[in-house]
């Protein structure tokens, strides 16, 4: 378990491993994504459909929905406030049922633990049920380096893996692909030697969803039947009994969790719920918020090892990787309430246009903008807290009521503070703020600055708005228009119309 020393900064997720940092800042990546019209069409269609389904099933519950949200938030806050106690209880219960618990301080440690466990079985390949935690730590890459192939079995993850691509959505990792693109990937990659062979797609495959699903089914069935080791994530872990839970829609997860001899689960240490009664709350909140269903088609629950049923060996890897550091910040820790439903992504105007890859992290969208910078430290993800309009739509839909907009503002403060200590905040903003601070320091200066701003009207005299401003405002107008400054600043207007009333005691 991570040890904290008073006064020492807590360790964040290490560099050079995993998928929490992008290759380029958000504004650059988003600008490129915005130029991809096909991507924007795919995203708009998919998020619009999920949004409508969510709204319908949430609406059915009326006022009860708000009570469920409050309950979900309260349970998670209790877990975070007493995480040490619940983690030890979970370890005790899993161990009492013949499971083994491993503590991983960070991505490198978690990868090492899993690699050693797989090596001990002698297996050279593993099947995986969709797991964000293993993507966060770059487990597939770590296994591949050691000569062990990891096969994704969630349909969307399979599409991403076969397409040599990266996930772009929490729930639908291949949301950026349409049916025609998926067909092409299946025909090209299924059965290819570089993908470990396996059952190829039929040559006359069409882009009909059912045909695509059947091709994936045949391909994956072969993998399931020969796998001896499975690696999973977990949606929840019930501390009182040591039970793990995975919810999914396809049944592929169920095959992973039951067929192989050895099951290894990698789970972020915030995924705990104290009791089964608490799990009940989340099994109502999660499906309605994620897939827009009343309940998940498959909810798999397992507790340690059971004779004659399921895997013979069970290992649970509890992952920190920056979570303790996140927990230490009272204004940021609520991000750890997240149950990865993706509702905030589907309503976010920024996500809908830029897509998930622009965030550079396995956690995209509004939750990624607050979680990734906390797991890595803001210096490694300084542009993500700015990837938002602060419209508040994410807070409205979040089933555990995470106040993402306030957290974004808090993290922007941290980015600026980090800049003062040596890291670099976004330059144009720092320059504008410095100039505004200087002008506002003296009333006379401010008055003159406002009058000078009227010259800006010249820049927008033809269109009624300013499309291209000179530096440092150029960064603002590269993405949006500036309104024209007023012909007469408020102070001048006040002096002209009411100046004579000053001192009248009104």
Give residues in contact with ligand SF4 (CB under 6 A): 289, 338-344, 367, 397-400, 402
Query: Which of 51, 454 has the CB closer to ligand SF4?
Result: 51
Give the three-class secondary structure for 33. helix
Whole-number Å distance between alpha carbons of 232 and 151 = 12
Of 6, 13, 9, the closest CA to residue 322 belongs to: 13
Nearer to ligand SF4, 50 or 402 (CB): 402
What minimum distance in Å lies between the beta carbon of 130 and ligand SF4? 15
List helix spans (H) across 332-460: 343-347, 349-354, 365-376, 393-397, 404-420, 427-440, 443-453
Q: What is the DSSP string of 43-67?
A: HHHHHHHHHHHHHHHHHTTTTHHHH
78's CB contacts (< 8 A; 6+ apart) are 274
Rg (CA), the chain: 26
Q: Please, is 429 exposed, middle or buried when counting C-beta atoms within 10 Å of its C-beta (0-12, 13-18, 19+)?
A: middle
Which residue, 47 or 289, has its beta carbon nearer to ligand SF4? Answer: 289
For the CB of residue 54, give the shortest distance to ligand SF4 in the complex, in Å: 10
Q: How many helices (H) and strands (E) does the chain have?
A: 22, 12
Closer CB to ligand SF4, residue 360 or residue 399?
Answer: 399
Taking the complex as a whole, the smallest distance from the CB of residue 378 to ligand SF4 amounts, in Å, to 18
Nearer to ligand SF4, 319 or 402 (CB): 402
Minimal distance, residue 287 CB to ligand SF4, in Å: 12
Q: How far is the CB of 338 from ligand SF4 (least distance, A)?
A: 3
Of 233 and 304, which has the nearer Cβ to ligand SF4? 233
CB 397 to ligand SF4: min, Å: 6
Least distance between ligand SF4 and beta carbon 402 (Å): 5
Query: What's the min distance (Å) between Cβ of 286 and ligand SF4?
Result: 8
Between 26 and 302, CB nearer to ligand SF4: 26
Find the shortest distance in angstroms from Cβ 28 to ligand SF4.
24
Task: Name the residue nearer to ligand SF4 (CB basis): 289 or 326.
Answer: 289
Which tokens is 422 given?
């040596």
| 289 vs 301: CA distance, rounded Å | 20
- Closest contact distance (angstroms) between CB of 350 and ligand SF4 is 13
Report the residue number, 168 or 289, with the smaller CB distance to ligand SF4.
Answer: 289
Instruction: Identify the DSSP state of 267.
Output: E
Would you list the DSSP string of 216-240?
HHHHHHHHHHH-SEEEE--SEEETT
Q: Are 353 and 393 in contact (CB under 8 A)?
A: no
* C-alpha to C-alpha distance for 448 and 452, rounded to whole angstroms: 6
Q: How far is the CB of 221 from ligand SF4 (least distance, A)?
A: 31
Comparison of 74 and 423: residue with beta carbon closer to ligand SF4 = 74
Residue 478, number of CB atoms within 10 A of its CB? 13
Which H, E and C letters describe 290-326, residue by residue?
HCCCCCCCEEEEEECCECCECCCEEEEEEECCCHHHH
Contact assessment for residue 481 and residue 465, using Cβ atoms and an 8 Å cutoff: yes
Tell me whether residue 138 or residue 399 sits nearer to ligand SF4 (CB atom): 399
Least distance (Å) between residue 280 CB and ligand SF4: 17
- 108/134 with CB nearer ligand SF4: 134
Choose among 370, 372, 375: nearest CA to 402.
Answer: 370
What is the CB-side half-sphere exposure of residue 260 using CA atoms within 13 A?
31
Virtual torsion, Cα 41, 357, 321, 86, nearest 10 deg: 0
In terms of Cα–Cα distance, which of 243, 250, 248 is closest to 301?
Answer: 243
Q: Are 367 and 344 a contacting pair, CB within 8 Å?
A: yes
């Amino acid at each position: 378990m991570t040890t904290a020393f008073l006064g020492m900064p807590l360790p964040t997720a290490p560099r050079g491993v995993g998928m929490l940092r992008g290759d380029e800042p958000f504004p650059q990546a988003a600008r490129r994504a915005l130029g991809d019209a096909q991507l924007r069409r795919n995203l708009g269609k998919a998020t619009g459909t999920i949004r409508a389904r969510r709204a319908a099933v949430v609406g059915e519950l009326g006022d009860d929905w708000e009570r469920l949200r409050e309950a979900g938030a309260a349970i998670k806050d209790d877990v975070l406030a007493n995480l040490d106690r619940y983690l030890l209880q979970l370890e005790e219960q899993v161990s009492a049922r013949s499971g083994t618990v491993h503590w991983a301080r960070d991505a490198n440690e978690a990868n090492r633990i899993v690699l050693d466990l797989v090596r001990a079985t002698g297996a050279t390949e593993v099947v995986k049920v969709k797991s964000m935690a293993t993507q966060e730590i770059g487990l597939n890459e770590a296994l591949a380096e050691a000569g062990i192939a990891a096969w994704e079995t969630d349909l969307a993850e399979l599409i991403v893996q076969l397409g040599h691509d990266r996930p772009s959505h929490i729930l639908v990792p291949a949301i950026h692909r349409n049916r025609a693109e998926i067909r092409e990937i299946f025909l090209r990659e299924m059965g290819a030697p570089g993908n470990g062979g396996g059952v190829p797609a039929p040559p006359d495959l069409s882009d009909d969803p059912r045909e695509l699903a059947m091709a994936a089914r045949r391909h994956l069935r072969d993998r399931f039947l020969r796998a001896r080791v499975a690696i999973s994530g977990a949606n929840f872990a019930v501390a009182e009994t040591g039970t793990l839970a995975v919810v999914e829609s396809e049944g592929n997860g169920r095959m992973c969790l039951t067929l192989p001899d050895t099951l290894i689960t990698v789970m972020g240490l915030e995924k705990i719920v104290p009791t089964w009664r608490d799990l009940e709350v989340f099994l109502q909140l999660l499906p309605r918020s994620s897939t827009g269903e009343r309940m998940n088609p498959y909810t798999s629950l397992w507790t340690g090892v059971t004779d004659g049923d399921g895997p013979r060996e069970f290992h649970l890897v509890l992952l920190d990787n920056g979570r303790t550091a996140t927990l230490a910040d009272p204004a940021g820790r609520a991000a750890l309430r997240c149950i990865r439903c993706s509702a905030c992504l589907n309503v976010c105007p920024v996500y809908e246009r830029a897509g998930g890859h622009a965030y550079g992290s396995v956690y995209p969208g509004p939750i990624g903008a607050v979680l990734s910078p906390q797991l890595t430290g803001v210096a490694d993800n300084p542009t993500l807290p700015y990837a938002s309009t602060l419209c508040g739509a994410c807070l409205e839909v979040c089933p555990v009521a995470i106040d993402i907009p306030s957290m974004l503002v808090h993290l922007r403060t941290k980015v600026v503070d980090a800049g003062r200590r040596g890291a670099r905040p976004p330059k144009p903003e720092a320059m504008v703020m410095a100039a505004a601070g200087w002008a506002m320091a003296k009333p006379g200066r401010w008055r003159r600055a406002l009058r000078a701003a009227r010259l800006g009207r010249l820049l927008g005299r033809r269109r009624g708005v300013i499309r291209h401003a000179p530096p440092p405002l150029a960064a603002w107008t590269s993405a949006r228009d500036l309104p024209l400054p007023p012909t007469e600043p408020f102070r001048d207007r006040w002096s002209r119309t009411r100046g004579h009333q000053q001192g009248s005691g009104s």
